[in-house]
Amino acid sequence: MRATAHHWSNESVRRLAEGRDPVQVIVDAARKMVLEAIDQGWLGPPYDPFKLAELRGIAVSPLADIPEARTVPAGQNRFVIEYNPTRPPGRLRYSIAHEIAHTLFPDCGERIRNRSKTTLVPDDWQLEALCNLAAAEILMPIGSMKKEPSEELTIEKILAARRHFDVSTEAVLIRLARLSEEPCAAFVASRVADSKGADSYAYDYLIPSRTWKYVIARGTTLPRPSPAAECTAVGYSAKGKVSLPGVPEKLRIECIGIPPYPGAMFPRVAGFLSSERSVASESHIEFLLGDVLSPRGRGRKIIAHVVSDSTPNWGGRGIAIAIKKKWPAAQDAFRWWFGDSRKRPLGEVHFCEVEEDLEVATMICQRGYGPSETPRVRYAAIEKALGLVAAKAQANDASIHMPRIGCGQAGGSWMLVEELVNSILTTGNLRVTVYDLPNSAFSSSALQLSLAPSL
């Protein structure tokens, strides 16, 4: 679902986006909400959308006489999510996450929001598609799953991830498509009758990976015969190739039947299209064994590291003390910048030039210091700080060098941090190098889908 594929006409979408790309805005909003929840101790998998609603101050109430779920205004910036408790667990969890996504829209309190195709006005599909996208970010948060660039997307892998996270097939498809380096697009299609009365399938929406090059509009009809037509029951899968208007190659298609819209007789079909033309990602993290304080390559460089919000003094056994020993001026400048305040706000960054064409970016992303039963890293702060580092690097044409930030004394999950680095730094075509000491236990050689047990 590219911004260029259609005109964003839905008023709720337009008010959310304020002239920006609605897809990126909703993903950013969902990710911010998720990172704040993880910082409050929200764990998984499975990631509990009921608990997320509680953390957000949203009441949740069962109501068996509605088709799926709906969000009901309950006063100033307060909402109640009503849901049908008879739905299958994965679909129910997806519905709750979908409704939480509705509350990210500034006009959510103006009317009841229903997750039901039969209630939609002509362009409400745009709103619903964005909520589907946010629901996938909620149920499979950033850093909770990893797909290696060399790994091919298949229905079997999608179903394995669905069972692991206890979510709907639709949610897994969306999340994996956005994570994949493969040129592919996830889709959901539903059965329609054409002017001659024949049945076929048309796309409700498509979510592309970042290497996908084609624009396929919503409502495009799959050619007949199509593998989609073979998914005659929920859980039935099909594979094959299809030709689509404006696409100069046959596309691989894998799909599976999923529950129908309320009131519909036939299942919807979820799946993905993929190009057989290999499109290698131009942006990725380069992992090296060595010392981050001797960054490789030519040109201007930034060394990024994480410190606490509670002291201007660098100590312990981490990278900060090593920087202090090699470049005392960096510690002195940070101490002066920190001032007499008891704490500095999380997410702030101090930049200090330590050599010609070399800066140190000190990111405040750790709450407190010393022994702790829970991680001291704050992922929302890392996201904010990386954005500031990215802006600095782009303005100065600099490469970025770092250890596995937030994953030492701060106790963070590298799987989560790595995806933040990829989404903020490498997506912007910045050159990023991560350094491990030769005796480090970290490895970047896994060639299979990895599902993190917890964060």
Q: What is the pLDDT of residues 11-56, one digit of tens each?
A: 999 999 998 888 889 989 999 999 999 999 998 888 999 999 999 9
**What is the span of the domain harbouring residue 75?**
1-141
Q: Which of 95, 117, 141 is the last residue of a domain?
A: 141
The verdict on 86 and 187 lying in the same domain is no
What pLDDT is stored for residue 113 in this prediction? 74
> Residue 4 — pLDDT band, cuts 50, 70, 90?
very low
Nearest to 273 by CA among 213, 193, 230, 231: 213
The verdict on 85 and 17 lying in the same domain is yes
Give the mean pLDDT of 171-191: 87
Residue 201: pLDDT above 50? yes
Q: Which of 280, 312, 343 is the last residue of a domain?
A: 280
Give the mean pLDDT of 82-89: 90
pLDDT 10s digits, 100-120? 999 999 999 888 776 555 445
DSSP 201-256: EEEEEEEE-TT------TTPBPPSS-GGGG--STT-EEEEEE--TT-SS-EEEEEE
Domain count, the chain: 3
The verdict on 313 and 444 lying in the same domain is yes
Strand 237-242 to strand 251-258: parallel, antiparallel, or no bridges (unpaired)? antiparallel
Gap between the Cα atoms of 408 and 427, Å rounded: 25
The verdict on 295 and 254 lying in the same domain is no
The verdict on 229 and 296 lying in the same domain is no
Residue 153: pLDDT above 90? no
- Tokens standing for residue 360: 């140190």
Report residue 284: phi and psi, to 5°. -165, 165
The verdict on 217 and 108 lying in the same domain is no
Could you give the C-alpha distances from 95 to 170, 376, 379, in angstroms and in order?
11, 32, 26
Gap between the Cα atoms of 353 and 36, Å rounded: 32
The verdict on 33 and 72 lying in the same domain is yes
pLDDT 10s digits, 90-103? 889 989 999 999 99
Residue 163: pLDDT above 70? yes
Give the 3-state secondary structure of residue 288: strand
pTM for this predicted structure? 0.73
